[in-house]
Structure 1
Amino acid sequence: MNIDIPVGEQPKRRRKWKKELFSWLKIITMITIFVVFVRMFLFTNYIVYGQSMMPTIADGERVIVNKIGYEISEPERFDLIIFHATEDTDYIKRVIGLPGEHVKYENDMLYVNGEPIEEPFLKPGSNGYDSDEVFTKDFTLESKTGEMIVPDGHVFVLGDNRRNSMDSRQMGFVEQDVIVGKVNVAYWPPKKLRVFH
């Protein structure tokens, strides 16, 4: 069955169709610009390689990194951060020592400026070690870095898998200028979705 459209209606329908198409193109363009802006300046995602942050973050997990947070605030103890370790490599580690602080480990306990600090993210029995075994070997800041305190503009970082992590014990302090941002979310695989504070 054919329906005849009056001659005057055809241009109106074409104009309406073009107007709707143009409207959709504007929306898609604005969304694309917004996504690019967010990705470039506010958030980005990373795939974690290696076992240095297990069991907190496993090899192959994907995380979202807040790139703007440290533009308006300073890193805090136990933040998970991504930083440029070399020109070609970024690392994920946990902030342990802040500027002006003395850090040491003794009998598997973190001491900051002489005060014991619990590390609730380290679970006895995780990472294949027994709860009776030493997980973080004794050391002082000066024995690992030659410095008594963390210098201004730097942080001291460790991996959660203390027995298998390249971190400030070997590399020294991390300049705050090379920090990409704070890890906010682990989102892949979806069944392991979680938020970090």
Structure 2
Amino acid sequence: MKEFIKDIAIALVIVIAITLIIKPTIVKESSMEPTLYENNYLFVNKLAYLTKDHPDYGDIIIFKSDIDKDDGSGKKILIKRVIAVENDVVTVSEGNVYRNGIKLDESYTLEGFTSGDIKDYAVPENEVFVMGDNRGVSLDSRSGEVGTISEDSIIGKAFFRLYPFSEIGLLK
């Protein structure tokens, strides 16, 4: 009986540790298509940025926005891709995105075209510039409603898709 109780206690410690590190998340909108689709079930590493200074280019992050939920129950949690980090300069012109004067290869986007016109926007310190992969519908850093994201508001990095099972695996 002691062995059984010991096994249960170890299992509980492992479950608690995992829930402190990993946050399960369900995609609710289409702003990250074709990378992520509505109802994809993801795992988010909540400790991803505790061991390094800043998010990397291309990371898919979830963060708490300043946008109210439709039902008034708090702020929306959004999922977007990191395009630029602090001190980078972002330009959006003629459907292309440039970081520090270099045109980005964004083959992961749905349309291959980015609307908007941003001229030499310098990303503030401890903030990131994010965009959805479905640029036509994404509410992201191009909008004053979202703007750049404080690194303090980042919940974590999406790293694994569990569902649908046909697409199970690490995110790129």
TM-score, normalization: structure 2? Answer: 0.87
Counting helix residues as a fraction of each chain, which structure ranks higher? 1
Contact 1:158 1:167 in 2 (8 A): yes
Gaps of 5+ in 2: 67-73
Q: What corresponds to 2:170 in structure 1?
A: 195
| Larger of the two Rg values belongs to structure | 1
The answer to whether residue 6 in structure 2 is matched with residue 26 in structure 1 is: yes
Number of residue pairs the alignment of both structures matches: 162
Aligned-CA RMSD value: 1.6
* Displacement after TM superposition at 1:141 (Å): 5.2
User: For 2:107, what is the secondary structure of its paired residue?
Assistant: coil
* Displacement after TM superposition at 1:155 (Å): 0.4
Q: What corresponds to 1:137 in structure 2?
A: 115
Q: What corresponds to 1:70 in structure 2?
A: 49
Identity %: 30
- Counterpart amino acid of 1:175? S
* Displacement after TM superposition at 1:120 (Å): 2.7
Gaps of 5+ in 1: 1-20, 143-147
The answer to whether residue 144 in structure 2 is matched with residue 172 in structure 1 is: no
User: For 1:85, what is the secondary structure of its paired residue?
Assistant: strand
Structure 2 distance, partners of 1:141, 1:195, is: 34
Contact 1:68 1:181 in 2 (8 A): yes
- Counterpart amino acid of 1:153? N
1:67-106 equivalences under 5 Å are 67-73=46-52, 74-86=54-66, 87-106=74-93
Counting strand residues as a fraction of each chain, which structure ranks higher? 2
* Displacement after TM superposition at 1:183 (Å): 0.6
TM-score, normalization: structure 1? Answer: 0.77
